[in-house]
Amino acid sequence: MERFHSLTVPKIGERERIDKYIARFIENASRTKVQKAIDLGYVTVNGEVVKSNYLVKPEDEIEIELDVPEKQDVLPENIPLDIRYEDPNLMVINKPAGMVVHPAYKNYSGTLVNAVLYYSGLHDGSLSKLNGFERAGIVHRLDKDTSGLIVIAKDEVTHRKLSEQFFHHTIEREYNALVWGKFRQSKGTIETRLGRDKRDRKKVAVLKDGDESGKKAVTHYEVIAEFEFLSLVKLNLETGRTHQIRVHMAYEGHPVFGDETYGGREPHSVNKTSRLVSTAKNLLEIMPRQALHARVLGFIHPSSREKLRFESELPDDIQRVLDKLEDLLNSKRTV
């Protein structure tokens, strides 16, 4: 049986529980196996973790991974956490690049879930209601090689209310990215429909005009700084689709610097001189991942109703590339 599956819900007359819906459409996937995958956080709807009693609706984009670890394999691990905020209801964590959020195929340890479970065990049960042992309160995800802010719910009510804010796109999410090339316009909006790449199911693609499968995706961008062959951009998500920024930037001809999946490890420039290629190669050695950072996270606190907003500085690897780009720019000015 394939490990990875994606489904887009068509127009349906009656809403149905997601565990029943998935079991009907994936061969040899029992409802028990599907429920286990859901409990472990390996089923998302429109990029967000859901429960077995979630009722599917038209145009929901469901992603499923059925090759999941046993519960006893998801163990607490002593991994340091950069906690930026904590109260009885939730935590905001600054996730480093290279850390997977959920245990998954070939990544059963060293994840954010493993770290949060260990942290909860050190605090007298204060984090004992983390939306189920295996999911550890995860509300949303960041890609393994994307750094930045992520919120963790400590109880079911907080999880549900935060999930509703993500669903209704009222969460403030701002990213910084280094991307290839210079933009014709200093700011703009990218709006497409995204769906699974038919040639590679692990990738996401922009769908052709008229293809109503997949989901609408909207990204707002603004150029912060320009260099010889790279730009630093601010990106605000109106929607939160899988790989949205990475796919949208590549679609516009500006792949995220260092992004191996979407063409970001090859120079994209109208002037591919030997000097540029050499400089780019040196910078790519500093940046072994996509140069994408979730810098701002803002939401309404589910209990106090207070507006919370958090910022995270650029990580060292992105900052080192920026410093070298600044040095190159200054050296050209003095010539």
Q: How many angstroms separate the CA atoms of 240 and 68, rounded?
A: 24
Q: Choosing from 19, 39, 60, 143, which is the catalytic residue?
A: 143
What is the identity of the amino acid at 94?
N
Pairing mode, strands 90-95 and 147-153: antiparallel
Report the alpha-carbon distance of residue 104 to residue 57 in Å, rounded: 27
Do you know the residue count of the chain? Answer: 335
CA 146 – CA 128 distance, rounded (Å) = 28
Assess whether 323 carries a catalytic annotation.
no
CB-based burial, 208-219: b 16+ in 10 Å, e otherwise: eeeeeebbebbb
Yes or no: say if 165 and 299 are a contact pair by the CB < 8 Å rule: yes
Residues near 190 by Cβ (< 8 Å), separated by ≥ 6?
217, 218, 219, 220, 221, 248, 251, 252
Instruction: Tell me the C-alpha distance between 178 and 292, whole Å.
Output: 7
The residues assigned a catalytic role are: 143
